[in-house]
Structure 1
């Protein structure tokens, strides 16, 4: 006879948050960043719907990341949950310097990396090829342009000239702009605009000057500018020329930007096409340096692309474009950069400037990243006033005070969210300007990113590493911060608002998978190419070229923080995370990894470059839904060879010795 036993089942308790209704959780996460929502979803299976439920994620994407590539793809595919996870992982990977993909993607003599498109030229005479590879789109094929064949068709009389120069200026929306120069007998400079994928030459334009030439375009309009207009005062100014792509119409009138001071694009001036406007920006307002206590302003303007008329120009007013005052201290111009960037959440435009300053009252210098919102008055209220401002004397924009009266009353109060302090003289290890090959800042992640040559560990030769500084706001009750107290030091106020920067380095000095780590260091520092470095970056990746000298061939290294990046031929491994420099260990990332079930290190060691071994190789099978399958390469006839065709990317060529790694976080 069986004895009866009573079994008492104790119900598992759930936290208060887990018991909250769906609608209340939706109200709570509205005040969280996407990264915090993603980390919250890893804490419990009860919160997985935050990053899995399509309707819920659609609302969050439209609210917090509507102006991202991920959001655009989600609107086409309907996969909003995937887009949310991708945005959160990308921002987290960037802020903590832990990329998903790293590898050598090509060898080139010159190159440009523009909005995820790599355009690089191989000068193997008599063959000169321009190759165009979509890295953001994880393309496995690239467009190849036969440069001699292209210029023979575009400028037939240049065929007799054997010596010429050809370089890429810009690429966007499938349209490539290049500068072509030859001498027969006098030097001629041409702007060539073409669509390589369609084998179509859009236009060729003979240039009067190439001084500081730049090009910007979208699908409908193209503008190029040169720093070539000389005024009565002896200084040179920028001149813009517009082009309507659809009907191949060059606007008859040029735009003379006599009020734009500065000539170094990316440092003192910036030009961009954003949405349906052409934007111009300068952080200088006077050609002459004046030894006086002045206030500096940004000069920012825009005009509609379809109508480049002086009457349509909008200019930021002085009360909205304040930059700094001279009393704040001198600036080391070698470290500065200037750019215009669209916010991923709201689509608003921000001015982002980096300055290394010896701030008044401080013992050393400090790098600081400043954000200023771009605000214009309505066209109806700005028309006549802006037109007058263009032709007015530059003295009105100098901000030079009259007499010796104090100017502090005219200085607006900076908001802590728009000032991100970076390295100062106490930062260790300290990197010189010659050791810092890339300097960038991403507002979406509150992170600055450097590519540094770190020999602090006693290693010989070059030791390139990624270095990021990320800050997080403090959670304090409303009203505890003394924002309105004029007596409080601004740096102390910043410390009340934000935690100190979390500094990350990648790759780490040591790792459990040391053999894989050594291979990664060889990819980042390719033997035989340890000379000059040029680098470009955006919010999801960076590309840098390294060679023995500035004029020789360069190896192109690609680093991506996008978890969706997928290039054929990559060796998929476990993860090698960054090391945190300060005393706080990288616990937040490790805890998230544990919650997601990825705490086990991938211990299999990859084989040599043959691709054999335990590492999984991403092959040429079906691509995921977020990548479109490329068309098959078109057969090229030896008798009638076009000037552009499609072929496998260089990194997929069996004869290419490059290596690609991808990591699972």
Structure 2
């Protein structure tokens, strides 16, 4: 006997947030980070329009990532939704040490990685080549410059010299600057400026000195400087020379930076061209060390590129350029770096400095990353710094109560020392929280403010491996939610009225931010051990275990390691950009960073360690979600990509020019070296 059963369909409830009108959601997401918007879109299909609707994404990109490469490309192509997803994935991949692409891009004797462009030289006498490859643009072809032919055309009289030196100084906007030195019989130094794609020599400038020489340029102006001229006090200072590219003329007067102290570019002094201004930054203010207690300031100035007049240069006021107090503790200068960084959302320029300090009251040393906004008084000319007024410490609101002053670096602050804000101080690692690495084991040190992440390339031989064991290591912090009752206030800090003026900045940071999440990549253990072994072989090529030099930016790392019998080094490329598509490169899709974070017990104050899923690691990464949006189709693993296969969205490059023996051209387009290295990645030692 058959019985009929009625099928009861229970309607699925829609959350209140999903029922909100489009306009209300648009208002809400304006107060979220791009990362939060992206993760919200993954929560439900109802929110997919947040990262797919072009007009909606255009507004978000213009507000939150207007000064990014992705935004520039979206303005040309109109693909703002793709740009939004790309920014979110890039930032998460960087913060969690989970790159999208790894591979070997070439062999070289020397190289420079500047603004996403790799310039590397191969010394194979009598042939010597300079190769220029756009890594950010995922180029499948690269410019090749015949160095002997170039110098014969640029400096004909050097043809009689059999020995010479040639190295790249800078590359930007298609313009390459190189230092050329030869002896005939006296040593001559020349600055060669050329555009390889147009086969045009822009200028050949004789140099009086090459001491600490550097070059910076945009499409209109070029500046080069040396640490060469000696002042009346016996100390050397920097000298800048400007060059106008359009009419190929030098500015009539040099600019002498007598007030800029520091000679180590990237550590004590920094030079950059940003938005038609030339910026000069130093973290030192005196040529001589003082034994007495003193306060340190940044020295930052700028001038328009078309008007290099020192008397019209703008300089940061002392109120804005305070750096640290000497009494905070000694510094290990070997770990420090200094740079200028442009905020991806606002375009504001920030000073970023890393210092390893033995802070007073602490048991050991700690690396800390400090951010200071660069600001100038438009009505203030370059003046005597001693005339600047004293700094008045601001009032900080903690839990609805005013506190002045707060301790900086665990020392009572004098009345003329400002207060550091928690968002501008990112405490790094010390021996009490995570495994420490020596300076010789740390080959790259960088900080990316766009993702609140510090990044290291370390030799983790402590993991029990034999030989070299290079790994990426990142530290990422997330802000804690603010109290609903006071959305604009910092989290409540429990202190007694007596101790109000002895509050530690570290305590405030702990209440504003979660502890750092530490990630290592590649992980030590993985279910696909064969794949993991291949990754380690790429990062540590067999037979190439010599010295390491590394460069990085907000989306990729390039480092050189080892030397073979011919002196060549292997150039290894690691990219966090989901849109990276170098032909012949190997894509890594399933190996995520291993999370090893210090977990704080609020009851006992003790720390514990965990890794992988036990420490909150995810088994699935956003790189695997909506993979088809970036032209993948499927996620590729090591060895899956066929040689020479190009994604559909990369424009077909022009065919390489045939260079005959009779042709005197010193530059031409050629298939990139990394395409020929496919399938040879593990045979370099043979």
TM-score by length of 2: 0.88
The yes-or-no answer on 1:29 pairing with 2:9 is no
Per-residue CA distance 1:549-579 (angstroms, 9 max, x = gap): 9993210000000000001113445311111
- Structure 1 Cα separation of the partners of residues 450 and 304 of structure 2: 27
SS of equivalent residue, structure 1 residue 581? strand
Among candidates 631, 644, 662, match of residue 654 of structure 2:
631
Equivalent residue, structure 1, for 2:469: 463
- Structure 1 Cα separation of the partners of residues 612 and 538 of structure 2: 27
Residues 597/211 of structure 1: CA separation in 2 closer, same or farther (3 Å cut): closer
Equivalent residue, structure 1, for 2:266: 266
Residues 549/300 of structure 1: CA separation in 2 closer, same or farther (3 Å cut): farther
Aligned positions of 1:63-102 closer than 5 A: 63-102=63-102
Equivalent residue, structure 1, for 2:420: 414
SS of equivalent residue, structure 1 residue 508? coil
* More moved, 477-486 vs 276-285: 477-486
Q: 1:367, 1:422 within 8 Å by CA — same for their partners in 2?
A: yes
SS of equivalent residue, structure 2 residue 190? strand
Q: CA RMSD in A?
A: 2.5
- Structure 2 Cα separation of the partners of residues 328 and 370 of structure 1: 14
Q: 1:286, 1:398 within 8 Å by CA — same for their partners in 2?
A: no
* Offset of residue 588 of structure 1: 6.0
* Offset of residue 107 of structure 1: 0.5
Residues 16/348 of structure 1: CA separation in 2 closer, same or farther (3 Å cut): same
SS of equivalent residue, structure 1 residue 223? strand
Equivalent residue, structure 1, for 2:517: 502
SS of equivalent residue, structure 2 residue 502? coil
* Offset of residue 657 of structure 1: 2.4
Point out where structure 2 has 5 or more consecutive residues left out of the alignment: 392-411, 598-609, 628-633
Q: 2:319, 2:390 within 8 Å by CA — same for their partners in 1?
A: no
Equivalent residue, structure 2, for 1:279: 279
Aligned positions of 1:552-563 closer than 5 A: 552-563=567-578
Residues 551/568 of structure 1: CA separation in 2 closer, same or farther (3 Å cut): closer
Equivalent residue, structure 2, for 1:40: 40
Q: 1:285, 1:397 within 8 Å by CA — same for their partners in 2?
A: no
The yes-or-no answer on 1:228 pairing with 2:238 is no
Residues 5/457 of structure 1: CA separation in 2 closer, same or farther (3 Å cut): closer
Per-residue CA distance 1:215-264 (angstroms, 9 max, x = gap): 00000000000000100000000000000101101001000000000000
Equivalent residue, structure 2, for 1:335: 335
- Structure 2 Cα separation of the partners of residues 213 and 65 of structure 1: 34
Q: 1:651, 1:658 within 8 Å by CA — same for their partners in 2?
A: no
Per-residue CA distance 1:335-367 (angstroms, 9 max, x = gap): 000000100000010000000000011110000
Among candidates 481, 489, 494, match of residue 491 of structure 2:
481
Equivalent residue, structure 2, for 1:423: 429
- Structure 2 Cα separation of the partners of residues 621 and 360 of structure 1: 56
Q: 2:549, 2:561 within 8 Å by CA — same for their partners in 1?
A: yes
Q: 1:103, 1:659 within 8 Å by CA — same for their partners in 2?
A: no
Equivalent residue, structure 1, for 2:446: 440
* Offset of residue 481 of structure 1: 2.9
Q: 2:89, 2:623 within 8 Å by CA — same for their partners in 1?
A: no
Q: 1:175, 1:195 within 8 Å by CA — same for their partners in 2?
A: yes
Point out where structure 1 has 5 or more consecutive residues left out of the alignment: 401-405, 608-614, 661-665
* Offset of residue 30 of structure 1: 1.1
Residues 407/588 of structure 1: CA separation in 2 closer, same or farther (3 Å cut): closer
- Structure 2 Cα separation of the partners of residues 291 and 38 of structure 1: 52
SS of equivalent residue, structure 1 residue 308? coil
Aligned positions of 1:565-644 closer than 5 A: 565-572=580-587, 574-582=589-597, 583=610, 585-586=612-613, 587=616, 589-590=618-619, 593=622, 596=625, 615-617=640-642, 619-621=644-646, 623-624=648-649, 627-644=650-667
Q: 1:482, 1:488 within 8 Å by CA — same for their partners in 2?
A: no
* Offset of residue 414 of structure 1: 0.4
Equivalent residue, structure 1, for 2:291: 291
- Structure 2 Cα separation of the partners of residues 188 and 524 of structure 1: 40
Equivalent residue, structure 2, for 1:611: none
- Structure 2 Cα separation of the partners of residues 646 and 544 of structure 1: 24
- Structure 2 Cα separation of the partners of residues 538 and 567 of structure 1: 18
- Structure 1 Cα separation of the partners of residues 5 and 72 of structure 2: 61
Runs (4+) of structure 1 exceeding 6 A deviation are 1-5, 395-400, 602-605
* Offset of residue 9 of structure 1: 2.6
Equivalent residue, structure 2, for 1:535: 550
- Structure 1 Cα separation of the partners of residues 647 and 678 of structure 2: 24
Residues 182/597 of structure 1: CA separation in 2 closer, same or farther (3 Å cut): closer
Q: 2:67, 2:345 within 8 Å by CA — same for their partners in 1?
A: yes
Per-residue CA distance 1:98-150 (angstroms, 9 max, x = gap): 00000110010000000100000000100000000000000000000000000
SS of equivalent residue, structure 1 residue 215? strand
* Offset of residue 424 of structure 1: 1.1
SS of equivalent residue, structure 1 residue 646? strand
- Structure 2 Cα separation of the partners of residues 286 and 26 of structure 1: 51
* Offset of residue 295 of structure 1: 0.4
Equivalent residue, structure 1, for 2:672: 649
SS of equivalent residue, structure 1 residue 224? strand
Q: 2:594, 2:617 within 8 Å by CA — same for their partners in 1?
A: no
Aligned length: 634
- Structure 2 Cα separation of the partners of residues 619 and 577 of structure 1: 26
- Structure 2 Cα separation of the partners of residues 236 and 439 of structure 1: 29
- Structure 2 Cα separation of the partners of residues 259 and 633 of structure 1: 50
Per-residue CA distance 1:608-637 (angstroms, 9 max, x = gap): xxxxxxx2426344641xx44321111111
The yes-or-no answer on 1:382 pairing with 2:399 is no
- Structure 2 Cα separation of the partners of residues 111 and 604 of structure 1: 29
Equivalent residue, structure 2, for 1:403: none
Equivalent residue, structure 1, for 2:537: 522
Residues 543/300 of structure 1: CA separation in 2 closer, same or farther (3 Å cut): same
Equivalent residue, structure 2, for 1:186: 186
- Structure 2 Cα separation of the partners of residues 28 and 604 of structure 1: 36
Equivalent residue, structure 1, for 2:508: 493
- Structure 2 Cα separation of the partners of residues 592 and 45 of structure 1: 18
